Amino acid sequence: MLRRRELGLVALAGWAGSASAQSSGGFHDSGLVGKLEGPEILTDPAQRPKQFKEAPVLAEQVRAGRLPPVEQRLPQDVMVVKPLRSTGRYGGTWRRGFIGPGDSENGNRLMSADKPLFFNEAGTELRPCLVRDWAVSEDGRQITLHLRRGLRWSDGSPCTADDWMFWFEDLYSNRDLVPAPAPELASNGKPGRMVKVDEATIRFEFEEPYFLFPQMLAGDTLVGGGSTRLQSDGRTYALYAPMHYLKKYLPKYTPVEELTRQAKAAGFGNWVEHFKFRSDWRLNREVPTLCAWRMVQPINTQLWVLERNPYFYAVDSEGQQLPYIDRVQMTLAENPEVVNLRAVAGEYDYQERFIDLGKLPVLLENQDRSGYRVHLDLGFNGADSALYPTLTYSEDAEIGKWLRNADFRRALALGIEREQLNEAFWLGLGTPGSVIPDESMPQSPGEEWRRKWSTHDPAQAVALLDKIGLKKDSEGFRLRGDNGQRLRLEIAVAQTLSPTWPQQAEMVVQHWRKIGITADVKVMERSLWYTRAYADQHQIALWTNNGTENLYLFPRYVLPVDPLGGVMSNAYAAWYASNGAQGKQPAEPEMQRAFALMRAATSQKEAERNETAKEIWKLAVDQQWGIGLVGLSPAFMGVRVVNRKLENVPARTAISQHCRTPWGGHPEQWFFT
């Protein structure tokens, strides 16, 4: 399989004129896949620059008296970034594409500088971010975070431990805002608490060891996503919030009658809706941020625009305040196909989102004419595309009964001809199989689990359908048990990251016809898809399992543990997150076992946690909670189109969910020549 992928890429690179690729015959010698790299975060205080500089546009504001000098805007514990290749120059606009108000993640990923911790370029080691340093007690029950002293919000207000305590006491503990607690704030199901030590120090205390917690703070989790990431989709999780701006919109600080009046005047039904708008960085330009850029034109317009944050907490190794780039401009595209056409025309400076691997030959053919470079970043996740039967689907009782039947799910998995999908939509460069991560990942249960229930075996699929009692009509199609009509499934596809998802689903439908299963494909706008997913209204959802290469940092596509995960069962997820106070308890003993393993992992050290993850993966594959199609490829945000004038861009970035591509490449240190 690997050899075929190597030859496919070499052929493409050679077709585009790469002599080195033609002669080498090697995957990484194709010139399209580089080495993982990124800038260095300098943590030695002796390496802190003695003097600071700023962008010309900010210097003008300082001279005009509209901003304090740069020395007063930067924190005492400034983050120092040694650029990847060279010190940059200020200026320019980063042009990018997005596909509408449902495309929040496009911008969220650019705002990832507001995470407590982050990862290195490989996504394997922790690095400081908002938190300058951290410590775990010997027994694992206390995790202490040392915040950057002198940190300021984008409006110049101080950001201190009080903003963290405000979130914990006034937002997280308010069930009108946070209906279900975050499972990541509990160790083995027992909730922890946040304690203020001093103005720049926060401590988390747990009843049981929680050696995993620092990784949770760096991952794309409910507690590690950052303020912009997790206030923008209706969930008030984040660990901190701008107290000086938001507190006046809470009943604790303003009478609820006045809040209701304000909400109605602003066009909202109640104070909760109004509060969520006020805390939503995509729509409300007033809400302060800690990120490199701040929003100045909202997502619900033709241009979604960000401009530099004059109080951003990072400088380069020569003392120049970052970011180098003045402005990020995302232009609305009608659909992913338009994004690809504009990329080919050279209209974007850095675009990985929505770029179709199937367009690779065209992208290579036009890179000289349009002035860009193409990079391929390989994923470590097992399924760029996966089918997720909703385990608590109830709108059609007959369909729901079969979706909860493991042998039915296995039959669906065995009825898919993944090799055909790989050739048609991955150019033969992906790896067909189950949802497990790459074998190089320490949590992988072994390559034999890539094939389990995940090869094309229509005869076995038919036998399983016979075994569970699904009768057939004269044409061999399976019948409902309640009314004798044909059993008809529906695959829900969002108009989103992969432009070929609708076509992939249609091909799966054709495969299933050969085992007697009738199905339809329903394509919908991303926001509607999410709304229905959160309500467990999809029968089968087509999505990805990107991020699951590190199970604990992004488990929602392996187990339903995120209250708003949206692909398996939000009823189960609410039960898990609330320790049984909400939602629905799983009836399946296998799911109960997986939940118990997941809870136990928080108290385990790394080696034991990895073994636990392997057991969870085995359960997930055997039960086919997610039906993997094709993965381990650059298809999911791993095809990058980069302006040749954009410098300090990594040759390869980790496209894992917890690395938040493109932020994993540290765009604050990119610059235009």
Q: Say how many C-beta atoms besides its own lie within 10 A of residue 64's C-beta.
A: 8
Do residues 134 and 117 lie in contact, with contact meaning Cβ atoms separated by under 8 Å?
yes
Question: What pLDDT is stored for residue 19 in this prediction?
Answer: 32
Q: Say how many C-beta atoms besides its own lie within 10 A of residue 135's C-beta.
A: 11
Q: Are strands 201-205 and 142-147 parallel, antiparallel or unpaired?
A: antiparallel
Do residues 108 and 232 lie in contact, with contact meaning Cβ atoms separated by under 8 Å?
yes
| Backbone conformation region of residue 428, classed left if phi is above 0, alpha if psi is from -120 to 50, else beta | left
Question: What pLDDT is stored for residue 495 in this prediction?
Answer: 79
Say if residue 77's pLDDT is above 50.
yes
Please state the φ and ψ torsions of residue 389, each to the nearest 5 degrees: -65, 135
Helix (H, G, I), strand (E, B) or coil at 664: helix
Q: Measuring CA to CA, which residue among 32, 26, 5 is closest to residue 633?
A: 5
Rounded mean pLDDT of 75-90?
A: 98
Say if residue 228's pLDDT is above 70.
yes
Do residues 652 and 36 lie in contact, with contact meaning Cβ atoms separated by under 8 Å?
yes
Q: How confident is the model at residue 440 (pLDDT cuts 50, 70, 90)?
A: confident
Residue 515: HSE in the Cβ half-sphere, 13 Å Cα cutoff: 27
Question: At 213, which helix (H) or strand (E)?
Answer: helix 213-218
Q: How confident is the model at residue 661 (pLDDT cuts 50, 70, 90)?
A: very high
Q: How confident is the model at residue 3 (pLDDT cuts 50, 70, 90)?
A: very low
Question: What pLDDT is stored for residue 30 in this prediction?
Answer: 64
Q: How confident is the model at residue 15 (pLDDT cuts 50, 70, 90)?
A: very low
Count H helices and E strands in the chain, helices first.
23, 26
Q: How confident is the model at residue 563 (pLDDT cuts 50, 70, 90)?
A: confident
Question: What pLDDT is stored for residue 220 in this prediction?
Answer: 87
Site of tokens 């990832």: 112
Q: Say how many C-beta atoms besides its own lie within 10 A of residue 200's C-beta.
A: 20
Going along the chain from its start, the domains and CATH numbers come out as 40-241+279-327+639-672 (3.90.76.10), 385-631 (3.10.105.10)
Q: How many angstroms separate the CA atoms of 355 and 409, rounded? A: 31
What pLDDT, in 10s, does the model give residues 571-603? 999 999 888 989 999 999 999 999 999 999 988
Q: Which amino acid makes up residue 189? A: G
What pLDDT, in 10s, does the model give residues 296-331? 999 999 999 999 999 999 999 999 999 999 999 999
| Backbone conformation region of residue 641, classed left if phi is above 0, alpha if psi is from -120 to 50, else beta | beta
What are the tokens at 628? 């993997």
Q: Give the residue, 222 or 651, on which the prediction is more confident.
A: 651
Q: How confident is the model at residue 199 (pLDDT cuts 50, 70, 90)?
A: very high
Q: How many angstroms separate the CA atoms of 581 and 179, rounded? A: 11
Q: DSSP of 495-526, one letter per residue?
A: ESS-TTHHHHHHHHHHHHHTTT-EEEEEEEEH
CA angle 520, 522, 528 (to 5 degrees): 155
Question: What pLDDT is stored for residue 344 in this prediction?
Answer: 98
Percent of the chain's residues with pLDDT above 90: 83
Rounded mean pLDDT of 639-651?
A: 97
CA angle 312, 314, 316 (to 5 degrees): 135
What pLDDT, in 10s, does the model give residues 137-152? 999 999 999 999 999 9
What is the number of residues in the chain?
A: 673
Percent of the chain's residues with pLDDT above 70: 94
Average pLDDT of the chain is 92
* Predicted structure pTM score: 0.85
Q: 127-133: long-range contacts at Cβ-Cβ below 8 A with a sequence spacing of 24 or more?
A: 127/41, 127/218, 128/41, 128/43, 128/79, 129/79, 129/218, 130/290, 130/313, 131/217, 132/43, 132/77, 132/79
Q: Which residues pair with 492 in a beta bridge?
A: 522, 541
Say if residue 171's pLDDT is above 50.
yes
Q: Which segments of 84-240 are extended strands (E)?
A: 93-98, 117-119, 126-128, 131-136, 142-147, 186-187, 190-191, 193-198, 201-205
What pLDDT, in 10s, does the model give residues 375-414? 999 999 999 999 999 999 999 999 999 999 999 999 999 9
Rounded mean pLDDT of 489-511?
A: 91
Say if residue 18's pLDDT is above 50.
no
First to last CA, the chain: 41
Question: What pLDDT is stored for residue 373 in this prediction?
Answer: 97
What pLDDT, in 10s, does the model give residues 155-164? 999 999 999 9
Q: Are strands 639-643 and 372-376 parallel, antiparallel or unpaired?
A: antiparallel
What pLDDT, in 10s, does the model give residues 89-140? 999 999 999 999 988 989 999 999 999 999 999 998 999 999 999 999 999 9
What are the tokens at 437? 């991560």
Rounded mean pLDDT of 419-434?
A: 94
Rounded mean pLDDT of 493-502?
A: 83
CB-neighbour burial class of residue 607 (10 A; exposed 0-12, middle 13-18, buried 19+): exposed
Q: How many angstroms separate the CA atoms of 382 and 389, rounded? A: 17
Residues 6+ apart with CB under 8 A from 328: 93, 94, 96, 110, 293, 305, 306, 307
Q: Which amino acid makes up residue 84? A: L
Q: DSSP of 303-347, one letter per residue?
A: EEEEEE-TT-SEEETTSBBSPS--EEEEEE-SSHHHHHHHHHTT-
Q: How confident is the model at residue 234 (pLDDT cuts 50, 70, 90)?
A: low
Rounded mean pLDDT of 450-463?
A: 98
Question: What pLDDT is stored for residue 497 in this prediction?
Answer: 65
Q: How confident is the model at residue 565 (pLDDT cuts 50, 70, 90)?
A: confident
What are the tokens at 232? 């923008």
Q: Measuring CA to CA, which residue among 323, 330, 315, 261 is closest to residue 292?
A: 323
What are the tokens at 481? 């048990």
Say if residue 72's pLDDT is above 80.
yes
Rounded mean pLDDT of 454-476?
A: 97
